[in-house]
């Protein structure tokens, strides 16, 4: 019979406590617990608690990575629309003294923690053509608004000098798409399906438009569209229809989580460039998470949101795939 040593070149160690820094694939026998264990790729992801936002809120805009993120604007009660800026260092959020020029919610944004853009939104009343604001890591500067006035739009972009904004509510529902060059907006070909409360991910030339509502606040969408820099193409849909969802990643490796339809969701879906797969692991807190766009498919951030009739400050961190110590059952 072939032994583990013949396969791996090492014998299974007998230890009284689990190794503090095991290698992936390492197997050992824990004599204290009487269990065979291994440090294994589970094949699925996991959500775990991160540091809470300083203010519970929903409908803001975020940018950056799981360990270096920004969250700006949003809505809370009783304060209403916010002009706050918060920064995340992988452990905790810090309120930055630099505030947006215009408080807003139902906004969208993209970029990095030091080079971000906040686009459109709602400040109460109309019109919806709020100024674009650019963040340089220190302060916010107002720039011209988009060509189409709207709120509840989505966006994609890797920095504050190159991005895309699409969809939204004017009224009416919008399919308009516009490209940002760092100082002005230019109209581009429209989405195939007009919708609001959709979400986006990717870059200016390789993006996805995901989910949403038609009409605004009404029936939710599963529709996904792919942008190649010149046109939008309908591709395989989400497994669960929803608006107000959080997203992260790229056009070929994406993540979608949370949202509502009309109840609030915790479910997570992964995009492989062709289709969406439902993960068995969902958010700990079911909520609308549209403001969350920070991170990648492998390491994402869900911050704030609204669910169970309340605003939340909860932050959750996603790791995929999850590599962890597991008990090995031998039969």
pLDDT at 135: 98
| Tens of pLDDT, residues 225-284 | 999 999 999 999 999 999 999 999 999 999 999 999 889 999 999 999 999 999 999 999
Pick from 129, 131, 104, 141: nearest CA to 291: 104
Cα–Cα distance between 204 and 309 in angstroms, integer?
35
Pick from 274, 284, 243, 313: nearest CA to 46: 284
- 292-306 residues labelled b (16+ CB within 10 A) or e (exposed): bbbbbbebbbbbbbb
The mean pLDDT value for 5-21 works out to 74
Cα–Cα distance between 50 and 43 in angstroms, integer?
22
Checking if the pLDDT of 44 tops 90, the result is no
pLDDT at 132: 98
Pick from 198, 185, 56, 68: nearest CA to 119: 185
pLDDT-derived band of residue 25, with 50, 70 and 90 as boundaries?
Answer: confident
| Tens of pLDDT, residues 111-164 | 999 999 999 999 987 668 899 999 999 999 999 999 999 999 999 999 999 999
Checking if the pLDDT of 330 tops 70, the result is no
pLDDT at 7: 47
pLDDT at 129: 83
Give SS3 for 27. strand
Checking if the pLDDT of 5 tops 70, the result is no
Q: Which domains does the chain have, with CATH numbers?
A: 4-41 (no CATH), 46-319 (2.120.10.80)
């Amino acid at each position: 019979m072939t032994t583990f040593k013949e396969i791996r070149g090492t014998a299974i160690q007998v230890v009284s406590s689990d190794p503090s820094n095991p290698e992936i694939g390492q197997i050992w026998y824990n004599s204290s617990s009487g269990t065979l264990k291994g440090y294994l790729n589970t094949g699925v992801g996991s959500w775990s608690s991160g540091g809470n936002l300083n203010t519970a809120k929903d409908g803001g805009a975020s940018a950056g990575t799981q360990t270096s993120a920004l969250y700006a604007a949003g809505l809370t009660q009783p304060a209403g629309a916010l002009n706050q800026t918060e920064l995340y260092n992988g452990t905790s959020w810090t309120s930055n003294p630099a505030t947006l020029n215009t408080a807003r919610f139902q906004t969208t944004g993209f970029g990095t923690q030091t080079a971000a853009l906040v686009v459109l939104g709602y400040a109460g009343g109309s019109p919806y053509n709020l100024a674009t604001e650019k963040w340089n890591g220190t302060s916010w500067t107002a720039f011209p608004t988009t060509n189409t006035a709207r709120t509840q739009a989505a966006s994609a972009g890797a920095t504050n000098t190159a991005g895309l904004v699409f969809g939204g509510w004017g009224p009416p529902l919008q399919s308009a798409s516009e490209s940002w060059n760092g100082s002005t907006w230019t109209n581009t070909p429209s989405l195939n399906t007009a919708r609001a409360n959709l979400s986006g991910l990717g870059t200016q030339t390789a993006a996805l438009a995901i989910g949403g509502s038609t009409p605004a606040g009404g029936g939710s969408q599963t529709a996904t569209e792919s942008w190649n820099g010149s046109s939008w193409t309908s591709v395989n849909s989400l497994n669960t229809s929803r608006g107000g969802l959080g997203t992260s990643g790229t056009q070929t490796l994406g993540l979608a989580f949370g949202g509502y339809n009309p109840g609030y969701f915790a479910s997570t879906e992964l995009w492989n460039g062709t289709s969406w797969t439902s993960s068995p692991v969902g958010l700990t807190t079911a909520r609308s998470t549209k403001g969350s766009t920070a991170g990648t498919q492998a390491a994402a951030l869900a911050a704030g949101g609204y669910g169970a009739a309340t605003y939340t400050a909860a932050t959750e961190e996603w790791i995929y795939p999850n590599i962890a110590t597991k008990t090995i059952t031998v039969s």
